[in-house]
């Protein structure tokens, strides 16, 4: 399967309560009753490649998008999500996805490929969610040449970190068990989230915290403080790796929670940002 914009992939399923209940357990919440909260669709309508179709890093060799060359490493860079209405339980839904752009550039490590995909999720004949994902592919490090010392598990915050005073904040303890469970809920086999030898070969000091988890928590900050994302565009960027067991800090943006949010790691480094904007396609939003 190529990255030709004319190629389209499609997945359909009934939106059952099970995946939402498992995601709620990860987040220490009660499961939702009738509808999926905003951004919780990440546990549904997933591609399910066979094990024999996975590359050595755990990503599918084919699909949306197809890696531009054998052995290139995949980095999740960000995306945009327009929620027109929430998905309802016990009703079928269909996710249609295609590659919308592929741009080749050259960086310090060599050739880089930036790929954007767009997915439409429809239920009961209504467009519910439009999601774009930005993915970066970079060359693999030379074989048998680790780019960093052997990683060591990192401690949780020692309470000395100074965080800015914002109007809203969430703290989430992240450890190996949580990373494993989030990978399971999202059917993500990428080894950077569970294989320390692999992350060393990719140049990181410890297991990586999922970008979609950071995005989800920035959405949760808004939702839990009375700012639903229905009828809004949630745009997010991953700007620095978050690695190792720690407390993830999710804070309102410095301009206020109605504008967006940010994620900081145990050192206070900003690893992700999000903005909440009016959706450009609000017709029919409930």
Residue positions counted in the chain = 286
Provide the pLDDT for residue 35.
97
> Which of these, 217, 275, 222, lies nearest to 242 by C-alpha position?
217
Low-confidence ranges of the chain (pLDDT < 50): 1, 144-148, 150-151, 283-286
| Residues whose CB is less than 8 angstroms from the CB of residue 82 and which lie 6 or more positions away in sequence, other chains included | 129, 130, 131, 232, 233, 234, 279, 280, 281
Provide the pLDDT for residue 152.
53
Provide the pLDDT for residue 165.
93
Could you give the percent of the chain with pLDDT greater than 70? 85
Provide the pLDDT for residue 285.
39
Interatomic CA distance for residues 286 and 275, integer angstroms: 21
Strand partners, 262: 251, 273
Give the number of other CB atoms < 10 A from CB of residue 27: 18
Interatomic CA distance for residues 1 and 66, integer angstroms: 7
């Amino acid at each position: 399967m190529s990255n030709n914009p004319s190629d389209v992939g499609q997945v359909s399923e009934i939106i059952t309560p099970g995946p939402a209940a498992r995601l709620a357990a990860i987040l220490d919440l009660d499961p939702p009753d009738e509808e999926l909260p905003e951004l919780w669709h990440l546990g549904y309508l997933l591609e399910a490649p066979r094990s024999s179709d996975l590359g050595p890093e755990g990503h599918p060799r084919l699909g949306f998008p197809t890696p531009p060359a054998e052995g290139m490493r995949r980095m999740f860079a960000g995306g945009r999500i327009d929620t027109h209405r929430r998905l309802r339980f016990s009703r079928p839904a269909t996710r249609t996805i295609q590659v919308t752009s592929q741009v080749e550039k050259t960086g310090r490590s060599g050739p880089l490929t930036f790929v954007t995909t767009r997915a439409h999720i429809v239920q009961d004949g209504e467009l519910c969610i439009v999601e774009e994902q930005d993915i970066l592919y970079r060359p693999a490090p030379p074989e048998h040449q680790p780019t960093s010392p052997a990683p060591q598990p990192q401690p949780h915050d020692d309470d000395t970190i100074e965080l800015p005073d914002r109007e809203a904040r969430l703290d989430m303890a992240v450890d190996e068990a949580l990373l494993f469970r989030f990978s399971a809920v999202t059917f993500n086999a990428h080894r950077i989230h569970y294989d320390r030898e692999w992350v060393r070969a990719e140049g990181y000091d410890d297991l990586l915290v999922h970008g979609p988890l950071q995005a989800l928590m920035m959405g949760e900050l808004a939702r839990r403080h009375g700012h639903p994302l229905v009828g809004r565009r949630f745009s997010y960027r991953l700007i620095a790796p978050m690695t190792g067991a720690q407390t993830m800090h999710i804070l309102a943006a410095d301009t206020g929670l109605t504008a967006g949010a940010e994620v900081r790691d145990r050192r206070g480094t900003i690893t992700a940002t999000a903005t909440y904007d009016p959706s450009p396609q609000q017709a029919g939003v409930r």
